[in-house]
Amino acid sequence: MSTSSVGATDQLATPPVGPAPIVGEIKHGRWGDVWRAISRNRKAVVGVLLMLVFFVLAIFPGQIAPYDPAATIFPPALGVSWHHLLGTTAYGQDIFSQVVWGTRLSLVIALAAGALATVLAVLVGVSAAYLGGVTDGVLSLITDVILVIPIFPLVIVIAAYSKSSGLGTLVIVLGALGWSYGARQLRSQTLSLRTREFLEAARVRGERPIYVILFEILPTMTSLIVASFLGAALYAVLTAAGLQFIGLGDPNSQSWGTMLYWAENNEALGAGMPLWAIAPGVCVALLGASFALLNYAFDEISSPALRVRRLERKRLRPVPELQPEHTPFEPGEQSQDVVLRVQDLSVAYATETAPVVAVDRVSFDLGNQEFLAIVGESGCGKSTLLYAIARLLGAPMAGEIIGGRVLFQGSDLVLLKDEELRPLRWRNLSVVMQSAMNALNPVLTVAEQMRDACEAHSDMSKAEIEARSREVLRLVSIDPVHLHSYPHQLSGGMRQRAMIAMALLFTPDLVIMDEPTSALDVVAQRSLMVQIKELQEQLGFAVIFVTHDMSLVSHFSDRLLVMYAGQIAELSPTEQLFTRPLHPYSRGLLDAFPSIHGEKVRLEGIPGSPPDLHHPPAGCRFAARCPLVQDRCIETEVPLVAVNGSLVRCLRHGELAK
């Protein structure tokens, strides 16, 4: 799931909207999520505590403030003392009492104006996105216009003309003008929800639009609405304080802004009463800061990318030592025919609870010019394994290598630092990713993206680079005129082939591919596979090809590695795996594919789900779903054994009837 909508374009005349906050999985009901997020985030906790302090001051001012704030009974301009914690004003009022009493008004303004603005923002933003069409156009235009016109001068203009400057007017004016930013965000979030099928499902069910908006859309946006409210409240606090400061509020009211007004009028700073000006300002700043901190925390909630998690290696079970007898080739130095040797590679990543080992001691050798397919279902760790080999882990593919070796061209890739890896990258080892639309930089042309790879690893001249770029495009049957196109201008299949062409710029020894055909239709898939195979035979590189579709690679791969729950289940020559699978999982997978020309038999699939890798089972990980399971399978860990040129992790391998 893409985590960002950078570049997602609005319909109206507005430039690309920034990364919209993402809804993400709601895990504990609408409010449960909010609660957990707040309680785990330090900034949010500080913000909440600050707000609580102010709430207490606002609710119980009489109990906390020692004196009547308006009483001018004390000697003026006193300094700090036990009787007057913050001194007195030029009129002889106790500053501390004023500050305490001022909390109530400021908080009321903030919450009331914030609420009004949020209600308007929800109404406008969600309706505009849901109703679409002309309504959306008009509402969005109004939103954008109000957003752009500076509110503060406008409010000043209104306040200047109007006679009444009371609390009510202030709240209404602030609320009526402050909704535009929230409306914009809510609209953008609702737009992205429109493609979520549960809204279509609700319509198909026969729900009325009002019901859909109130009960299907809004509940999924709780975090965003709360964040919007906080933003509006913050803006209300600051704007109200500003207005009162310049004298447009009611000068007789008890609020922080008016305190500042009187302080400024009396030159408090210079006349030895600095606290008169500083104290209420600190309160405004702190209240504002509490809203801002909570807002910031909500940003982190809605964008999972923003949450940092450290991998706690101490909590991982120790990875056992290398066990050389698992590899089918001689241990020791690499033989001439092996281009890549992976030994006991393990990868783990941090989660909210315990760390998870996504790849558990995977070992295999890859021969020169061999085509190895790694097959598995979601969560088996195949992509993690692939990117670990290429040393490309890191957001969004979480994880760190916690053990094992990756021997390539005489070095252990696991031990090399980024700088040392760089010369190897692309020259000897290149990568093809799943979606070219996401893997190609949207702001650079194809030519520029090929050029920077060339420049980084060679000193080819511009002319040579251009010639080479044309050559690789021709290799994949793309007209070189497309060199100067941007990725979004090419069709899906063409983009995919352009990516493959780019990977071949230096005719590397090894190309790893992460489901490069998944985004394509079946006809385009097949022609791309054939093309890849031809290129491989022509240029002589090894391929590691990750896919979830075994039948796709059945005619192209030399060997097939089946992964399950982070471990190798079976590694066999392709033809052998299809005719005599050794592992019950491989067998189950094979039988799960409906055949187009063969006999029509009832498919069983493999009921159940893979184990939760937070608590992997002690014995065989497939035991819960295995038709051949016995007691001994559950008790102890099952080793990977070599059988006639294959590897299999099953105590009962070979007992599968054909």
Q: How far is the CB of 326 from another protein (least distance, A)?
A: 26
Question: Is 566 one of the binding residues for another protein (CB under 8 A)?
Answer: no
Q: Which is nearer to another protein, 512 or 648 (CB)?
A: 512
Q: Which stretch binds another protein (CB under 8 A): 329-337, 460-468, 595-603, 641-649?
A: 595-603
The candidate with the shortest Cα–Cα distance to 300, out of 47, 568, 567, 639, is: 47
Q: Which of residues 57-116 bind another protein (CB under 8 A)?
A: none
The candidate with the shortest Cα–Cα distance to 402, out of 363, 342, 361, 374, is: 361
* Three-state secondary-structure class, residue 643: strand
The candidate with the shortest Cα–Cα distance to 564, out of 367, 395, 362, 429, is: 362
Q: Which is nearer to another protein, 58 or 217 (CB)?
A: 217
Using the structure block, give the residue that is written with the tokens 């290149």: 430
Q: Which of 431, 582, 648, 650 binds another protein (CB under 8 A)?
A: 431
* Three-state secondary-structure class, residue 571: strand
The candidate with the shortest Cα–Cα distance to 516, out of 505, 501, 530, 528, is: 528
Question: Is 371 one of the binding residues for another protein (CB under 8 A)?
Answer: no
Q: Which of residues 450-469 bind another protein (CB under 8 A)?
A: 452-453, 456-457
Q: How far is the CB of 129 from another protein (least distance, A)?
A: 17
Sheet containing 567-573: order of strands? 429-432, 510-514, 542-547, 371-375, 559-564, 567-573, 646-648, 641-643
Q: Which is nearer to another protein, 290 or 363 (CB)?
A: 290
Q: Which of 38, 65, 440, 562 binds another protein (CB under 8 A)?
A: 440
Q: Which of 161, 210, 317, 321 binds another protein (CB under 8 A)?
A: 161
Sheet containing 356-367: order of strands? 356-367, 338-349, 400-408, 411-412
Q: Which of 196, 462, 474, 615 binds another protein (CB under 8 A)?
A: 196
**Cα(246)–Cα(258) distance, rounded to whole angstroms?**
9
Q: Which is nearer to another protein, 457 or 641 (CB)?
A: 457
Structure tokens at 283: 């309160």
Q: Which stretch binds another protein (CB under 8 A): 4-12, 69-77, 111-119, 166-174?
A: 4-12
Q: Which stretch binds another protein (CB under 8 A): 123-131, 231-239, 322-330, 648-656?
A: 231-239
Question: Is 247 one of the binding residues for another protein (CB under 8 A)?
Answer: yes
Q: How far is the CB of 565 from another protein (least distance, A)?
A: 13
Question: Is 522 one of the binding residues for another protein (CB under 8 A)?
Answer: yes
Question: Is 288 one of the binding residues for another protein (CB under 8 A)?
Answer: yes
> Residue 568 forms beta bridges with which residues?
563
Question: Is 518 one of the binding residues for another protein (CB under 8 A)?
Answer: no
Q: Which is nearer to another protein, 19 or 573 (CB)?
A: 19
Q: DSSP states of 456-510 as a string?
A: HH----HHHHHHHHHHHHHHTT--GGGGGS-GGGS-HHHHHHHHHHHHTTT--SE
DSSP state of 212: I
Q: DSSP states of 267-288 as a string?
A: TTTTTT-HHHHHHHHHHHHHHH
Q: How far is the CB of 32 from another protein (least distance, A)?
A: 9
Question: Is 538 one of the binding residues for another protein (CB under 8 A)?
Answer: no
Question: Is 314 one of the binding residues for another protein (CB under 8 A)?
Answer: no
Residues 6+ apart with CB under 8 A from 485: 445, 446
Q: Which is nearer to another protein, 77 or 158 (CB)?
A: 158
Q: Which stretch binds another protein (CB under 8 A): 123-131, 191-199, 331-339, 641-649?
A: 191-199
Question: Is 406 one of the binding residues for another protein (CB under 8 A)?
Answer: no
Q: How far is the CB of 81 from another protein (least distance, A)?
A: 21
- Tell me, by CB under 8 A, how many residues bind another protein: 161
Question: Is 138 one of the binding residues for another protein (CB under 8 A)?
Answer: no
Q: Which of 554, 624, 629, 641 binds another protein (CB under 8 A)?
A: 554
Give, in degrees to the nearest 5, the angle at Cα 94 between 92 and 99.
135
Question: Is 414 one of the binding residues for another protein (CB under 8 A)?
Answer: no
| Rg (alpha carbons) of the chain, rounded to whole number | 33
Q: Which stretch binds another protein (CB under 8 A): 98-106, 116-124, 150-158, 312-320?
A: 150-158
Question: Is 421 one of the binding residues for another protein (CB under 8 A)?
Answer: yes
Question: Is 619 one of the binding residues for another protein (CB under 8 A)?
Answer: no
The 3-state secondary structure of 217-266, one letter per residue: HHHHHHHHHHHHHHHHHHHHHHHHHHHHHCCCCCCCCCCHHHHHHHHHHC
Q: How far is the CB of 547 from another protein (least distance, A)?
A: 11
The candidate with the shortest Cα–Cα distance to 609, out of 627, 622, 619, 618, is: 622
Q: Which is nearer to another protein, 60 or 215 (CB)?
A: 215
Q: Which of 134, 210, 481, 596 binds another protein (CB under 8 A)?
A: 596
Q: How far is CA 272 from CA 4, 69, 90, 92, 277, in A?
A: 53, 20, 10, 14, 11
Q: Which stretch binds another protein (CB under 8 A): 17-25, 98-106, 536-544, 644-652?
A: 17-25
Q: Which is nearer to another protein, 177 or 366 (CB)?
A: 177
Q: Which of 214, 415, 603, 642 binds another protein (CB under 8 A)?
A: 603
Q: How far is the CB of 364 from another protein (least distance, A)?
A: 21
The distance of Cα 310 from the centroid of its chain, to the nearest Å, equals 16
Question: Is 592 one of the binding residues for another protein (CB under 8 A)?
Answer: yes
Q: Which of residues 254-273 bind another protein (CB under 8 A)?
A: 260, 264, 269-270
Question: Is 210 one of the binding residues for another protein (CB under 8 A)?
Answer: no
Give, in degrees to the nearest 5, the angle at Cα 519 between 515 and 522.
95
Are the CB atoms for 103 and 69 separated by under 8 Å?
no
Question: Is 481 one of the binding residues for another protein (CB under 8 A)?
Answer: no
Q: Which is nearer to another protein, 319 or 444 (CB)?
A: 444
Q: Which is nearer to another protein, 67 or 262 (CB)?
A: 262
Q: Which of 111, 170, 241, 568 binds another protein (CB under 8 A)?
A: 241
**Cα(342)–Cα(391) distance, rounded to whole angstroms?**
13
Using the structure block, give the residue that is written with the tokens 């009974």: 73
Q: How far is the CB of 341 from another protein (least distance, A)?
A: 21
> Regarding beta strands 510-514 and 338-349, do their DSSP bridges make them parallel or antiparallel, or are they unpaired?
unpaired
Give the count of beta carbons closer than 10 Å to the beta carbon of residue 66. 11
Q: How far is CA 322 from CA 2, 343, 344, 346, 414, in A?
A: 37, 7, 6, 11, 15
**Cα(335)–Cα(340) distance, rounded to whole angstroms?**
10
Question: Is 207 one of the binding residues for another protein (CB under 8 A)?
Answer: yes
Q: Is 206 left (phi over 0), alpha (psi -120 to 50) or beta?
A: left
Question: Is 192 one of the binding residues for another protein (CB under 8 A)?
Answer: no
Q: Which of residues 320-349 bind another protein (CB under 8 A)?
A: none
Q: Which is nearer to another protein, 30 or 315 (CB)?
A: 30
> How many Cα neighbours within 13 Å face the side chain of 364?
28
